[in-house]
Amino acid sequence: MRALAVATAIAVAATGAGPIGVTPAQAQRAAGAMPIIRDTEIEQLLRDYAQPILKAAGLAKQNVKVVVLNDRTFNAFVMDGRHIFINAGALFDAKTPDEVIGVFAHETGHLAGGHLLKLREQLATAQTASVIALLLGVGAAVGGSRMGAGGGDIGAAAIMAPQSAIQRSLLAYVRTQEDQADHAGVKFLNATGQSPRGMLELFKRLSSESLFNSRYIDPYMQTHPMPAERVASLEVLAKASPYFDRKDSAELQARHDLMRAKLSGFLERPDTVARRYPLGDHSLAARYARAISAYRHSDLRQAVAQIDGLIQAQPSDPYFYELKGQALLEGGRANEAVAPLRQAVQLSHGAPLIQIMLGQALIGSNNPKFAEEAVVLLRNALMREPEAPEAYTQLAMAYGRKGDLAQADLASAQAAFGRGDMMTARQLATRAKTRLPVGSPAWVQADDIVNLKPNSNARN
Ligand SMILES: [Zn+2]
């Protein structure tokens, strides 16, 4: 698992979609600082949660992606038609799969209802930026002032916005959309034979938390107003479902537990992890959380021994090998990381994020024999993960090892471009062009970077 401070891919996508009523500069600043978590295991599980719902909603072909934000508050939202955002805090808060699936069902209800577009139309007459920001929750949801991620001023403005007539009428409109999304969500759950119980219980819990804890309200409550009558009508709807008492499968629950353990191990302080997963807890999830915490905060040797125990318990789980490789790689033992990462790539059927990590280990091992293998791996991974700037950095190093300076320059230019450093990107691409055969595919790629205009959204 890796937490990225800046994810330009989403920033560009979000800006392109134009979060309603927010200036592009504000949006870019807010979205550009989105702290994103990339992890094959978690993304695969969330895809398995979301895919049946999206299919039931007729959105299977739209390639909607779930993006996990590194934020401990509870939040989930849609900002364009292509991403469902969910905070790590929400995943951690949800003890069962059906709660997360319920959140996805609701957000998919917004997508299927075309709510973003309709809201945009409603807002065409509204002038007050703060009102718009409040409704969208862009400030609250994306600004993440608690994360210090920038853009918090939008949220602050939203909170201080005066109660005006227009705001009230728009809020009423948003509530209608919330009811519609609940209805649609339950419909999708029914269509997939899943229980709406998790969705109901989660919303009940959030609703009562906001009643008793006005000091701190999760961003989700700001973007998804949850008055008692909404919860009451959801309850009627949910309990009418023939699947209300259906439980998540044991297999799904086990994967869910591992996801929460992983988030805890990576994101929480060691003492918190130790409290949540005490030594007496011998479950796989608890051992996973403790092993991750050990590698992050204490002894590598001890951590590797714990991870080996996990591998022994579940030898076909690619993510235990991935963890072992990551621990060794980050512990300065790239050479030893290669073997477990090879296993992880194989068992995950070539997951691109794991391929990128293996590429990094191959290069870090300083073995010239590995350079060509790293090039092939990284290029393969980048075809499926084109927005991974760190993979371009690794690719540049691999080409450097091979003495292919033209390709190294091009990859470095792509890495700089991914980081948003356009000046460096253009300089390196210009140099790459002088070393590449005119008109070759690599030359064309370099030329594209040279000719990009500042602040261009051309990538999406
Ligand atoms: Zn909603």
Tell me, what's the pLDDT at 229?
83
Instruction: Write the CB contacts of 14 (distance below 8 Å, at least 6 apart in sequence).
Output: 27, 31, 34, 79, 80, 83, 142
CB 153 within 8 A of CB 165: no
Tell me, what's the pLDDT at 19?
35
Ligand 1 centre to CA of 109 (Å) is 8
Range in 220-234, 246-260, 341-355 the model is least confident about: 220-234
Ligand 1 centre to CA of 426 (Å) is 42
Query: What is the arithmetic mean of pLDDT over 296-316?
Result: 95
Ligand 1 centre to CA of 158 (Å) is 18
Report the Cα 394 to chain-centroid distance in Å: 22
Ligand 1 centre to CA of 261 (Å) is 27
Tell me, what's the pLDDT at 141?
38
Token readout for 166 is: 């227009």
240 burial type by CB count under 10 A (0-12 exposed, 13-18 middle, 19+ buried): exposed
Ligand 1 centre to CA of 410 (Å) is 43
181: pLDDT strictly greater than 50: yes
Ligand 1 centre to CA of 115 (Å) is 10
Ligand 1 centre to CA of 193 (Å) is 22
Name the amino acid, one letter, at 175.
R
Query: What is the arithmetic mean of pLDDT over 2-19?
Result: 46
Ligand 1 centre to CA of 224 (Å) is 5
Report the Cα 170 to chain-centroid distance in Å: 29
298: pLDDT strictly greater than 60: yes
Taking each helix axis from N to C end, the angle separating 115-122 and 97-112, rounded to the nearest 10 degrees, works out to: 50
Ligand 1 centre to CA of 25 (Å) is 26
Ligand 1 centre to CA of 184 (Å) is 11
For residue 138, what is the DSSP state? I
Q: Which of 370, 455, 366, 384 is nearest to 8 (CA)?
A: 455
Ligand 1 centre to CA of 235 (Å) is 16
217: pLDDT strictly greater than 90: no
Ligand 1 centre to CA of 17 (Å) is 19
Tell me, what's the pLDDT at 33?
61
Tell me, what's the pLDDT at 121?
66
As beta bridge partners, residue 262 has none
Ligand 1 centre to CA of 4 (Å) is 27
Ligand 1 centre to CA of 80 (Å) is 14
Ligand 1 centre to CA of 197 (Å) is 17
264: pLDDT strictly greater than 90: yes
Ligand 1 centre to CA of 221 (Å) is 9
Tell me, what's the pLDDT at 383?
92
Ligand 1 centre to CA of 107 (Å) is 6
Ligand 1 centre to CA of 250 (Å) is 29
Q: What pTM value is reported for the model?
A: 0.82
Q: How far apart are CA 410 and CA 16, in angstroms?
A: 26
Q: Which helix (DSSP H) or strand (DSSP E) does residue 85 occupy? A: strand 83-87
390: pLDDT strictly greater than 90: no
Ligand 1 centre to CA of 156 (Å) is 21
pLDDT digits (tens, 9 = 90+) for 114-135: 877 776 666 665 544 445 555 5
Average pLDDT, the chain: 83
Which residue is associated with the tokens 């080409």? 399
Q: How far apart are CA 222 and CA 113, in angstroms?
A: 20
pLDDT digits (tens, 9 = 90+) for 337-389: 999 999 999 999 999 999 999 999 999 998 888 999 999 999 999 999 887 88
Q: How far apart are CA 273 and CA 285, in angstroms?
A: 11
Ligand 1 centre to CA of 429 (Å) is 44
Ligand 1 centre to CA of 101 (Å) is 14
Angle value at C-alpha 21, between 15 and 27, nearest 5 degrees = 30
Name the amino acid, one letter, at 317.
D
List Cβ<8 Å contacts ≥24 apart for 290-298.
Answer: 290/265, 291/265, 291/323, 292/261, 292/262, 292/264, 292/265, 292/266, 292/323, 293/264, 293/265, 293/268, 295/323, 295/326, 295/327, 295/330, 295/331, 296/265, 296/266, 296/270, 297/270, 298/270
Ligand 1 centre to CA of 9 (Å) is 24
Ligand 1 centre to CA of 108 (Å) is 9
Ligand 1 centre to CA of 198 (Å) is 15
Which residue is associated with the tokens 């929460």? 260
Tell me, what's the pLDDT at 221?
67
pLDDT digits (tens, 9 = 90+) for 416-433: 998 888 999 999 999 999
14: pLDDT strictly greater than 60: no
Angle value at C-alpha 227, between 221 and 230, nearest 5 degrees = 110
Q: In the chain, what is the straight-line distance between the N-terminal and C-terminal CA atoms, in Å?
A: 26
Ligand 1 centre to CA of 6 (Å) is 26
Tell me, what's the pLDDT at 170?
67
Tell me, what's the pLDDT at 126?
54
Ligand 1 centre to CA of 176 (Å) is 10
Query: What is the arithmetic mean of pLDDT over 234-251?
Result: 95
Ligand 1 centre to CA of 94 (Å) is 17
62: pLDDT strictly greater than 90: no
